[in-house]
């Protein structure tokens, strides 16, 4: 099963994707995690991506499309994958369609977590507090200014994807303001219907 999760930063995509990984035994492909890994490892991609990520902007389409193209070739993606944080622009969504077509694969579901933007700011503040309480380092792009910038970028560059997938009748939406369990149930119902 090949699934795309859409939704602004802090909507709960990562939380839901992690659960599905365990339950359905398919990997979560988070371009954000992969890019953070590249930054930490100091690879050429990481060096290019670091500053733009910290400011809340988007890394170039070419870089992330190449990362995903390689990653979905790997053995653990044979039975499918969950894309979390990719695609993030219409150009990336078109590239993904092209990549999958070349490999004779199709997307089974595109699920958008619809959330209230005001509530996201409080969610992210909570995530920061929990991270600090757990003694873990806080992501630089989770600081309030960078986070707000990520929301602006989402609105401008990623929100148009809802229309892109709706036009081809592929978009399903879930109310992301429900409890984590309720969101999980709604997503499972959609995935079970695939
Ligand atoms: P995330 O963990 O998904 O919120 O991603 C963290 C940061 O990584 C984003 O704010 C972007 O700078 C970068 N990033 C992750 N995925 C993409 C993508 N598909 N396209 C461009 N930049 C991305």
Segment 154-179 shows an average pLDDT of 96
Helical (H) or strand (E) element with 158: none
pLDDT band, very low/low/confident/very high, at 126 (cuts 50, 70, 90): confident
- Are 111 and 187 in contact, with CB atoms under 8 Å apart? yes
Q: N- to C-terminal Cα distance for the chain?
A: 8
Residue 141 has pLDDT above 80, yes or no: no
Note if the bond before 125 is cis, omega within 30 degrees.
Answer: no
Helix (H, G, I), strand (E, B) or coil at 48: helix
Mutate to test the pocket of ligand 1, among 5, 32, 142 (most ligand atoms within 8 A of CB): 32
113 DSSP β-pair partners: 174
Segment 161-176 shows an average pLDDT of 96
pLDDT tens-digit map of 49-82: 999 998 889 999 999 999 999 999 999 999 999 9
pLDDT tens-digit map of 12-35: 999 999 999 999 999 999 999 999
CB burial of residue 35 (10 Å; 0-12, 13-18, 19+)? buried
Give me the pLDDT at residue 142, please: 79
Give me the pLDDT at residue 127, please: 83
> Under 8 Å CB-to-CB from 87, ≥6 apart: which residues?
4, 93, 95, 96, 161
| Mean pLDDT, all residues of the chain | 94
Compute, in angstroms, the gap from residue 61 CA to the centroid of ligand 1. Answer: 10
Give me the pLDDT at residue 146, please: 83
User: Which residue's C-alpha comes closest to atom 15 of ligand 1?
Assistant: 32
Provide the 10 A C-beta neighbour count for residue 19: 17
Compute, in angstroms, the gap from residue 107 CA to the centroid of ligand 1. Answer: 21
Q: Tell which wins on pLDDT, 140 or 72.
A: 72
pTM comes to 0.91
> Under 8 Å CB-to-CB from 155, ≥6 apart: which residues?
8
Token pair for residue 176?
């992301």
């Amino acid at each position: 099963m090949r699934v795309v999760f859409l939704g602004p930063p802090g909507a709960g995509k990562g939380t839901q994707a992690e659960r599905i990984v365990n339950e359905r035994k398919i990997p979560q492909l988070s371009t954000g995690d992969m890019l953070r890994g590249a930054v930490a490892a100091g690879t050429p991609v990481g060096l290019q991506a670091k500053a733009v990520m910290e400011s809340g902007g988007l890394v170039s389409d070419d870089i992330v499309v190449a990362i995903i193209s390689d990653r979905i070739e790997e053995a653990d993606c044979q039975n499918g994958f969950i894309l979390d944080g990719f695609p993030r622009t219409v150009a990336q969504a078109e590239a993904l369609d092209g990549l999958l077509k070349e490999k004779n694969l199709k997307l089974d579901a595109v699920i958008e977590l619809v959330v209230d933007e005001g509530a996201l700011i409080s969610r992210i503040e909570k995530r920061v507090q929990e991270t600090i309480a757990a003694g873990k380092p806080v992501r630089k792009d989770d600081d309030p200014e960078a986070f707000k910038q990520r929301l602006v970028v989402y609105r401008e560059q990623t929100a148009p994807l809802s229309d892109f997938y709706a036009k081809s009748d592929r978009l399903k939406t879930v109310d992301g303001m429900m409890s984590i369990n309720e969101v999980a149930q709604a997503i499972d119902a959609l995935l079970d219907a695939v």
